[in-house]
Structure 1
Amino acid sequence: MQPLDDLIKPGLRVLFCGINPGLVSAATGHHFARPGNRFWPALHLAGFTPRLLKPAEQGEILDLGLGITNVVDRPSARADELSKAEFRAGGENLVRKVLEFEPDWLAVVGITAYRDAFSLPKATIGRQDRTIGSTRVWVLPNPSGLNAHYTLPKLAGVFGDLRTAAALPDLTGSAA
C-alpha cells in the first residue's frame, strides 16, 4: 500500500497531522476515509468547514487554509502496529515539513502519537508550550471511532477550541 499524499502548501492556518493512514485511506487515497472516523464531522461541527466534507472532497480544505499530513507515512490497520522508532522518525520528518511550509498551527490528531513522536510522555490535549519555528502546536484527540472516550460533540468542542485559538471564523453558518 502506498502512503497518502500530503495536502499541504505554504501559508496554511492549520496543518492537521494524523497518526498514519489506515488501510481504507491508503486504498482510496483520502485522509480519514474509514467509515466511523469522526475527523470530517468534527472539523465541520467545529466551524472549520461550511459543510460536512466527504473524504473524497479533501482537496477543498486547502482553499480554507487547512492541510493534512501524517506523523508516520506507513499505512496500517491500527496505530498500535507502529513502532516507537517509526514515531520518532515521523516526528523528525514532521518537523522538517513544518519548517518548510510554516503553517500558523500544527494540530496533531492523537495524543499518544504526539507523545511518542516528540518524546513528551506528559503532553496533554490542547495547546502545547513548544513551537516548531514560528508554528504553534496543538494536540487533538484521535477522531477514530475506537476512541469512545470522546463523543462527537466533545470532539467537535475540542476542535472548536483550536479554531478559536487560531482566530479562524466559524464557517458553519455560511452554507445556509
Structure 2
Amino acid sequence: MPDVAAEGLRVLFCGINPGLLSAATGHHFARPGNRFWPALHASGFTPRRLQPEEEHELLSYGLGITNVVARASARADELSREEFTEGGRLLEEKVARLRPHWLAVLGVTAYRAAFDERKAVMGPQERLIGGVPVWVLPNPSGLNAHYTPPALAAEFGRLRLVASPEE
C-alpha cells in the first residue's frame, strides 16, 4: 500500500496496517465504517470530508498517511509482535527521512507495541520518533467503540491546534 507522504508535512498520520478493503482498493481507510476521513474534516484538518480515493489531496494541506505494518489484515489483532517491532523500526527511519512536524499514530495499542512504550496514553508523547514529536490518537476504526465520532474529532482537534497554530 503506497504512502501518501512528502518531506516536511505538518502531520504524518500513521495507521496500524491496511485493512483488506484498503489493500484491495489501494486507498487508505477505505472501509465505509472507518471514521478517519470524517474525524479529519470535523477536527478542521480539511475544509471538506475527503473520500479515500481523494487521499492525495491531503498533501496540499500538509498532511500524509503511512502505516506501522505494511501487511493487510482483517483486524489489527492478527499482527504479530515481531511485525509491530519491525514496523516501528522502519517507521522511525521513514520519519527521520521525511521530517514531518508531527507523527500522529492512530491507536495507542499499536504505538505501545511498535515502540515498547507500555504505559503510553493518548496525546503528546515524551519520546521522539526519528527526531520528530509524536501524538497518539485513537484508532478511527469502526471497531473502536471507546470513542464516539464527536470524541474522536475532539482528539484530532487537539493535535490540529498544536500542528496548525496559525489557524
TM-score (normalised: structure 1)? 0.93
1:125 to 101, 122, 125: 122
Aligned to 1:131, the other structure's residue is in SS state strand
Give me the CA root mean square deviation.
Answer: 0.9
- For the pair 1:166 / 2:138, whether they are aligned, the reply is no
Amino acid at match of 2:117: L
CA apart distance, 1:149: 1.0
**Other-structure match for 2:105:** 108
CA apart distance, 1:169: 5.5
Structure 1's consecutive aligned runs of 4 or more residues displaced over 2 angstroms after TM superposition are 167-170
CA apart distance, 1:129: 0.5
Aligned to 2:124, the other structure's residue is in SS state strand
Conserved 8 A contact 1:48-1:168: no
Conserved 8 A contact 1:20-1:71: yes
2:26 to 25, 29, 33: 29
- Tell me how far apart the structure 2 counterparts of residues 123 and 132 of structure 1 sit (CA, whole Å): 14
Aligned to 1:67, the other structure's residue is in SS state strand
**Other-structure match for 2:39:** 42
Aligned to 1:107, the other structure's residue is in SS state strand
Aligned to 2:60, the other structure's residue is in SS state helix
Amino acid at match of 1:73: A
Quickly say closer, same or farther: Cα 1:31–1:37, change in 2 above 3 A: same
TM-score (normalised: structure 2)? 0.98
**Other-structure match for 2:60:** 63
1:7 to 1, 4, 7: 4
Amino acid at match of 1:100: R
Aligned to 2:136, the other structure's residue is in SS state strand
2:144 to 126, 137, 147: 147
**Other-structure match for 1:79:** 76
- Tell me how far apart the structure 1 counterparts of residues 80 and 13 of structure 2 sit (CA, whole Å): 21
Conserved 8 A contact 2:11-2:104: yes
What is the number of residues matched between the two proteins? 167
Conserved 8 A contact 1:8-1:62: yes
- Tell me how far apart the structure 1 counterparts of residues 86 and 130 of structure 2 sit (CA, whole Å): 18
CA apart distance, 1:106: 0.1
Unaligned runs of 5+ in 2: none
Identity value in percent = 66
